[in-house]
Amino acid sequence: MNYRKIGTSNKPNQAGLDVSVITFGAWAAGGWMWGGTERNEAVKAIRVSYDVGVTSIDTAPIYGQGLSEEIVGEAIKDIPRDKVQILTKFGMRWDLAKGDFAMHSKKNDGQAIDIYRYAGKESIVKECEDSLRRLGTDYIDLYQIHWPDTTTPIGETMEAVSRLIEQGKVRYAGVCNYNADQMREAEKYIHLASNQVPYSMVKRDIEKQTVPYCIEHGKAILAYSPLERGLLTGKMKPGHQFAPDDHRAKLFFYKDENLKRVDVFLDKIKPLADDKKATIGQLVLRWTVEQPGITIALVGARDAKQALENAAAMDIHLSNEEINFITGHLNQLELVP
């Protein structure tokens, strides 16, 4: 496994945080919006990932309404705390009707809930304490606002996180789904380590503004959904059936026509994967973390087998010519909305 540093600054007490380039993404582990979860399998997936060098885990309270964080806490309880990096989030409440309404949803048990994006000071303090309890730790390595909240000034949000850093409950501050202007505003109040944003072969819009800003200002980019939630593994074919509560069924990426077009692209790069003795998914992940400005890739796994496959992506070497070969075919891929 390779590691990259995030959160470096001129402050003498901030040496930076070393994170595994393949970081375990624990959204699916919580089951929410993924058609449920198998807790024991999720715990095993995290533990085997750690055994092969995936020391960083990204989670959030909203993933299973606390379940994902509890699973992460269970998985790491026997690992020395300084050997694992916990990345979690705040700012999505399912138990408080305040802030920006985000969506109607359901818990894993089918109970209807309304979710709000809210990042007021008192809410952040409560969320941090709840996360620490569920995770079974006394500090969070990287604490990230999950989505922008237009009802709360960015300054108020970041000052609350600064206080948590002063108290030793948080080491570094990050954001998720922020654009360059929002990052610029946040930087007036706190030193940001990173921005976690969606990025994959079929979703590259951050290359226009977010990536240039982060490169210029030394901010890490944590790319989530790099396999586009399974689309880029080569395992999804036209007619694929999702579980009843799986959110992917409603996304345009998974229309039969787009599954066909993606398969054509993947067939073109499969010989390279075969030559590397790698899966298509591993080749996609390696390409992703070699893109300018992309620091790490957050990758989910439902079981130990998937987790080991994801980690092994870093065993692949791609030359500049091979990266350009993949990108050339990718640039010919067009999906229908």
Instruction: List all residues 6 or more positions away from 274 whose beta carbon is below 8 Å from its beta carbon.
Output: none
Q: How far is Cα 165 from Cα 184, in angstroms, rounded to an integer?
A: 20
Neighbours of 285 (CB within 10 A): 29
Structure tokens at 24: 């375990």
Let me know: does 242 contact 252? Beta carbons within 8 Å. Answer: no
Q: 320: which strand partners?
A: none
Q: How far is Cα 200 from Cα 289, in angstroms, rounded to an integer?
A: 10
Let me know: does 202 contact 250? Beta carbons within 8 Å. Answer: no
User: Is 50 a residue of the active site?
Assistant: no
**Is beta strand 56-58 parallel, antiparallel or unpaired with respect to 17-20?**
unpaired
| Helix segments in the chain, DSSP class H | 39-51, 67-76, 121-135, 154-166, 180-186, 210-217, 256-275, 280-289, 304-311, 320-330
Q: How far is Cα 188 from Cα 125, in angstroms, rounded to an integer?
A: 21
Q: Catalytic pick from 63, 189, 199, 254?
A: 63
**Is beta strand 56-58 parallel, antiparallel or unpaired with respect to 85-90?**
parallel
Q: 144: which strand partners?
A: 89, 174
Let me know: does 165 contact 171? Beta carbons within 8 Å. Answer: yes
Q: How far is Cα 190 from Cα 265, in angstroms, rounded to an integer?
A: 42
Q: 3-class SS at 90?
A: strand
Q: How far is Cα 178 from Cα 146, in angstroms, rounded to an integer?
A: 9
Phi, psi of 307 (to 5 degrees): -60, -45
The amino acid present at 236, given as its one-letter code, is: M
Residues noted as catalytic: 63
